Amino acid sequence: MLLSVLLFACKKENDFVDEDAIGSGVHYYPDILTQHFYDTTSRYNISDANFPQGGKVTFEVDFRAREGVTLINLYATTPDKVTRQVESIPYSSDFYSSVKQADTLFFSYAIPDTVAGNRIDLRVEVVTAAGLSTSQTDYVKVQ
């Protein structure tokens, strides 16, 4: 019975830790706390509202990391299944909110004029100094 407890205690959780590229240490994935992206104007989940072509959607993302974050990226996948990096923002300690006890960042995405009647997937990726990343995806419906 003691052996099984020791084996369980040594189990590596794939969701939370990983070794760096050269195997010299254990590093932790960042956590994105935002389950859905909410439009800062309407306060609706962005996937529950319709946005006009040429319009803009602004949403907030909250995240935490045990280790240093280097980049926060925003990707958009349009109906033609092409994914483009829209923004890549270097981390700043100014993102930290003492009220939320997390880092907070706002994104504004300009909706293209050519996608009426479709949806656009928006994916936020948080990348650590060790190269580990976590992402969260939501979508906007275009009128």
pLDDT of 14 over the 90 cut? no
CATH code where residue 63 lies:
2.60.40.3880
Q: Which residue has the higher pLDDT, 26 or 80?
A: 80
Whether 8 maps to a domain, the answer reads: no
Whether 18 maps to a domain, the answer reads: yes
Whether 118 maps to a domain, the answer reads: yes
Whether 47 maps to a domain, the answer reads: yes
Whether 122 maps to a domain, the answer reads: yes
pLDDT of 4 over the 80 cut? no
Length of the chain equals 143
Whether 123 maps to a domain, the answer reads: yes
**pLDDT score for 21:** 52
pLDDT of 27 over the 80 cut? yes
CA distances from 38 to 25, 75, 124, 142 (A): 37, 17, 13, 16
Quick one: which of 45, 126, 62, 69 has its CA closest to 99?
62
Mean pLDDT, rounded, of the chain: 85
pLDDT of 98 over the 70 cut? yes
At residue 13 the predicted structure's pLDDT band, cuts being 50, 70 and 90, is very low
pLDDT of 18 over the 80 cut? no
Number of domains the chain is built from: 1
Lowest mean pLDDT among 18-32, 53-67, 74-88, 90-104: 18-32
Whether 5 maps to a domain, the answer reads: no
Tokens for 133, please give them. Answer: 């990343």
Q: Which residue has the higher pLDDT, 137 or 49?
A: 137
**Which domain covers residue 55, as residue numbers?**
13-142
Average pLDDT of the residues in 69-81 = 95
Whether 1 maps to a domain, the answer reads: no
